[in-house]
Each structure stands twice: as C-alpha cells, then as structure tokens.
C-alpha cells in the first residue's frame, strides 16, 4: 500500500482525462492520472472514429486513445492503473482511496470518469448478460455474422450500433419505445436505407428468453407494444442493449452537488464543481453533446481552471499529512 501526492490528480483515462493531463503537464503541474478499469474506455470500444480532427482517414479508437496516453506521458503525466473507490473532499489535500490499496492525495482534482452503458433492468437481461445479451455491438457484433439480431434503443448509440451490425448480421431488428429516432439525421437516414434493417416502433423489451441446455444462451425476446400492451416473441440469439448512459458519479454522491440524472453540476462555461479545487470534465458533466472532442475540450478547460486554483492562496488550512508519501508529483 503506497501513498501518492499530486498537485493535480485526474481520475479517468478517456479523452477528457488525457487532454486535462496534457494541459496540466504543459503547465508544469506534473499531473497524476488514474485510468480506472479501462484506459480510454469508451473509444477503445470503437472500431473507427471518424469525427476527431487531425485524422484525414478514420482512426481506430484504441489507436487514438493510445496516442492520447503517449502524448500525456511525453509531456510529463504519470499514468497509473487503479480504480478510485472512495473520495474525501472535506479535507485538503483531497484524499482518495484506490482499489489497489494505495492512497492518493491531491491539491486539485479533475474528475473525468465518463458514463456507463445503461441496462434495461430486467432480471432475465442480467441472467443472460454475456450469453447473448451485450451492450457493445463493436466488441460482440462479430459473433453474429449472418445471424438475426435485435437491438434496443433509439439514440445515436443505438443507430450507430445497428449500422455496424447491419454489415455483419443477416437481419437487424431495432426495437424502439418511441415512434421516431433521436439520433442525428445522417445516421437515421443511413440506417433506414439498409435493406436488412427493420424497425419496430413503440415497443419495449419485456423479457429475455433463453435456454440452459445444451448451453446457456439467449433464444429470443418478448416485446410489448407500449400503446396496446400486446406482446409477441422475436427469435434471436443476440440482443444488443443501446439505451444510453449513466454518468459514473456514484463515488461522488454526498460530496459534490449533482445535476439531473446524476451528472456532476458545474458552473456555466466552467468545469468548477461545488467544491473549490475539484473540477469535472467530459461525459461525466455532459448529458447533451457526449463526444470525444467535447470531452477533450472540457479536459483542457479543467486543467486551466486547476492551474488557476493552485495559484490562488488556500482558503482553508492544509491538513497535516500523517501518512508517508512515496510519490510526489509536482
């Protein structure tokens, strides 16, 4: 069990976190970045990213994230693979606990923990998760080549995933609880022009059916018409759930003010949270845009605001550090 002290600690190894690190490092704040379970999580699930500037051709998601990590390290960021499991913002420096057992102290903190895929919440969905039920068409679509799959959702994530699946599966059925998609027009048009895609409007998934013998796997879904309550079965071996995301903010409940749906509340044109010295950037504060470029941009804002915060005199006394610090960054 080690203790680390950083002038700027960043939680999250996505575009927001890495870009915050690049800016903080270039300001000579020698940031420490904790990546969590999966560095660059969301974009590493993307086969290709087409809308990040600086790449004339579509760039592979994992490659883009690897470049960001290397750039952050090259300018002086220390990257650690750990998961933050608890935080204490009542004292300064802020104190965080890692899953590894390590303790982190931070004079300023940038939260860039992103958002996680939302689930339908059905016990049967949970039962067959990983056995035909998946939240990632990019990772798992390849297993359904020439098969019939079902995807539930109606936003950008669902439509992109359905497009991806339509290139692999023989038939893609999109189940959406409304009578139109919320996705960008270009994506909607692209999807609706696909001959092997059918959309079932105004329906929800009620139940995931499956078998246990000869092996545990999904065999179909029961769908319900939200207007008539009629139900029917759709046979499939693959259900993709693409119904949005929840911000990864459980860790900060009770410590920071939260906005709608658990997003961290920040000031207007600012990444400042309700606690001075704690900034938040990327999908964790953004229910609207949710793009790599906007997350990265917010990361740069957070780093600049952290720099400004550290340059100001402290309003509360710094706590005496009673634990041995083995790593001092900055």
Ligand X SMILES: Cc1cc2nc3c(=O)[nH]c(=O)nc-3n(C[C@H](O)[C@H](O)[C@H](O)COP(=O)(O)OP(=O)(O)OC[C@H]3O[C@@H](n4cnc5c(N)ncnc54)[C@H](O)[C@@H]3O)c2cc1C
Interaction site with ligand X (CB under 6 A): 11-17, 34-43, 45-46, 49, 51, 83-84, 112-114, 138, 157, 160, 248, 251, 282-284, 290-293, 295
Q: How far is the CB of 154 from ligand X (least distance, A)?
A: 15
Q: Using the minimum distance from each CB to ligand X, give the nearer residue, 40 or 93.
A: 40
Of the candidates 196, 198, 194, the one whose C-alpha atom is nearest the C-alpha of residue 176 is 198
- Residue 156 CB, shortest distance to ligand X, in Å, is 8
Q: How far apart are CA 20 and CA 297, in angstroms?
A: 8
Residue 224 CB, shortest distance to ligand X, in Å, is: 26
| Least distance between ligand X and beta carbon 185 (Å) | 16
Nearer to ligand X (CB atom), residue 124 or residue 298: 298
Residue 226 vs 297, nearer CB to ligand X: 297
One-character DSSP codes across 65-102: HHHHHHHHHHTT-EEE---EEEEE-SSSSEEEEETTS-
Q: Smallest distance, Å, CB 240 to ligand X?
A: 10
β-strand 203-211 against 115-117: which pairing, if any?
unpaired
Q: Are 39 and 12 in contact (CB under 8 A)?
A: no
Residue 125 vs 220, nearer CB to ligand X: 125
Asked if 133 and 239 count as a contact pair (C-beta separation under 8 A), the reply is: yes
Q: Which is nearer to ligand X, 37 or 326 (CB)?
A: 37
């Amino acid at each position: 069990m080690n203790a680390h002290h950083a002038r700027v600690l960043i939680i999250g190894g996505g575009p927001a976190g890495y870009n915050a690190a690049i800016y903080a490092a270039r300001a000579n704040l020698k940031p420490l970045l904790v990546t969590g379970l999966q560095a660059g999580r969301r974009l590493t699930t993307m086969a290709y990213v087409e809308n990040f500037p600086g790449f004339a051709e579509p760039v592979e998601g994992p490659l883009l994230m690897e470049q960001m990590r290397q750039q952050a390290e090259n300018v002086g960021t220390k990257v650690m693979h750990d998961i933050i499991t608890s935080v204490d913002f009542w004292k300064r420096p802020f104190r965080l606990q890692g899953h590894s057992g390590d303790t982190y102290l931070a004079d300023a903190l940038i939260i860039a923990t992103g958002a996680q895929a939302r689930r339908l919440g059905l016990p049967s969905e949970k039962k067959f998760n990983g056995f035909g039920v998946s939240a990632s068409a990019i990772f798992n679509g390849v297993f359904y080549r020439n098969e019939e799959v079902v995807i539930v959702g109606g936003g950008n994530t669902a439509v992109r995933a359905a497009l991806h699946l339509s290139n692999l599966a023989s038939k893609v059925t999109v189940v959406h609880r409304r009578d139109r998609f919320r996705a960008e027009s270009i994506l909607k048009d692209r999807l609706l022009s696909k001959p092997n895609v059918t959309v079932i409007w105004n329906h929800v998934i009620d139940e995931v059916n499956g078998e246990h013998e000869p092996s545990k796997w999904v065999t179909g879904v029961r769908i319900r018409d939200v207007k008539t309550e009629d139900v029917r079965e759709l046979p499939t071996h693959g259900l993709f759930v693409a119904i949005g995301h929840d911000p990864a903010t459980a860790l900060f409940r009770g410590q920071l003010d939260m906005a709608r749906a658990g997003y961290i509340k920040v000031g207007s044109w600012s990444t400042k949270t309700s606690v001075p010295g704690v900034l938040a950037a990327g999908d964790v504060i953004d229910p609207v845009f949710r793009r790599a470029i906007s997350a990265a941009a917010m990361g740069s804002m957070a780093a600049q605001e952290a720099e400004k915060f550290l340059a100001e005199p402290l309003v509360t006394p710094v706590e005496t550090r009673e634990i041995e610090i083995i790593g001092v960054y900055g």
